[in-house]
Structure 1
Amino acid sequence: MESQVRGGGPAAAAAFPAGPAADGSEGAPRRSPGPQLRRRLPRADLRAVPEARRALRELLRHWERPDGTDVAELLTSELVTNALVHTDDDAILTATVSPRGLRVEVRDFVAQRPRPRVPEAAADSPDAAGPVCRPPR
C-alpha cells in the first residue's frame, strides 16, 4: 500500500489488526500510540534490513499477538528492502504497537512518485514475446 506523506515522498505501510478485544468487540478504542520504533535507513545500505528485523522483533517481544511477529518481520523486510533498492535517498522505518494492532511504515524522501517499469525479457528467453498464453511444455 502506498500513500503520499506530507513533507516527503511516498510511504509504504502495513497494518496488522490486534483482533477481537477481550469483551468480544472488534478492536479497542483509539488511545495514544504505544511503543514505537523509529529508525533511519541509510541509502542503499542493505545491512539495514536484518537490523530492522531485529529492532522490530525486540519491539514486538511483549506484543499480545506473538503469532503475528513472523509475518510482521517478513513484511517489514520487504518494505525496507524496496525502499533501499528503489530510491536514491535515505528512508525512515516507523513501527507502532497499539491496542488496535501494529502499523509499520517505511517512508523515503523522494518528492516524486515512482514510475512503474516494465521488465525487458532477453531475446533468447521463453518469455521474449511477453506474457502470452501458450500450452505448457
Structure 2
Amino acid sequence: MDGHRTERRGPLGRGASARRVLPRRPPRGHRLTRKLARADLRAVGEARHALRELLDRHGQEASCADTAELLTSELVTNALVHTADDAVLTAVVRRGRLRVEVRDQAKGVPRARTAVPEEHTGGRGLGLVQSLADAWGVRAVGAGKAVWFELETGAAGPG
C-alpha cells in the first residue's frame, strides 16, 4: 500500500491474521532527530547546520533551506528559552515537503505576538513561522507539546 506499512498480528481463527495499517516511516536518510539540552543555546546553531545538511543531501532549493533554517531557529530557541526541560527536534523530508517539529515538556500553548520594536528583539519567532510556513501548528504530546511547521521544498524529494 502506497504511503503505509502493515503490521501483522498473530493468527485469528483458522490461520487468518489481522492487519493493521500503520503510517510508513521515512528512511533514516530523510529524517533528522536531535535532542536539545535545556538552556543550551549552542543547540540553535547545531540544529540549523544539521537541517541544512539534511536538505542539501536531498537537493532542496536554497530558498527553502534558508527559510527552514530561520524557522527552525525560532522554534528551537523558544523551546530552550521558555521551557525548563530538554526538547527534541525532528525534521522529515518527504514528497516535496519538509516538516519540522520541536517537542518540549511545557504545557503552555505558544501564541504569535506582535513585537514592539522599542521594547526588545523578542516576540517575533512565531510571527515569522506564521507568515513564512505553508502550515504550522501546536499539538499536545504527553505532558507537553510539539510546535511544528511545514514547507514545500521545491523538489520532488523521496517518497
Is there any run of 5+ residues in structure 2 with no aligned partner, and where?
5-23, 120-159
Shift of 1:66: 1.6
Q: In structure 2, what is the equivalent of residue 50 of structure 1?
A: 45
Shift of 1:100: 3.7
Aligned alpha-carbon RMSD (Å)? 2.6
Q: Does 1:101 align with 2:100?
A: no
- Residue 56 of structure 1 contacts residue 95 of structure 1 at CA under 8 Å; is this kept in 2? yes
SS in structure 1 opposite 2:53? Answer: helix
Q: In structure 1, what is the equivalent of residue 55 of structure 2?
A: 60
SS in structure 2 opposite 1:74? Answer: helix
TM-score (norm 2): 0.50
SS in structure 2 opposite 1:78? Answer: helix
**Amino acid of the structure 2 residue aligned with 1:45:** D
Shift of 1:46: 0.3
TM-score (norm 1): 0.58
Q: In structure 1, what is the equivalent of residue 137 of structure 2?
A: none
State how far apart, in whole Å, the 2-side matches of 1:37 and 1:102 are: 11
Q: In structure 2, what is the equivalent of residue 90 of structure 1?
A: 86
Is there any run of 5+ residues in structure 1 with no aligned partner, and where?
1-28, 119-124, 127-137
Q: 1:36 to 1:91 in 2, by over 3 A?
A: same
Identity of aligned residues (%): 57
Residues 94-129 of structure 1, C-alpha deviations (whole Å, 9 max, x = no match): 00010141000000023x22577x9xxxxxx99xxx
State how far apart, in whole Å, the 2-side matches of 1:55 and 1:115 are: 25
Q: 1:100 to 1:115 in 2, by over 3 A?
A: closer
**Amino acid of the structure 2 residue aligned with 1:90:** D
- Residue 43 of structure 1 contacts residue 89 of structure 1 at CA under 8 Å; is this kept in 2? yes
Q: In structure 2, what is the equivalent of residue 70 of structure 1?
A: 66
SS in structure 1 opposite 2:35? Answer: strand
- Residue 49 of structure 1 contacts residue 81 of structure 1 at CA under 8 Å; is this kept in 2? yes
Q: How many residues get paired?
A: 91
Higher strand share: 2
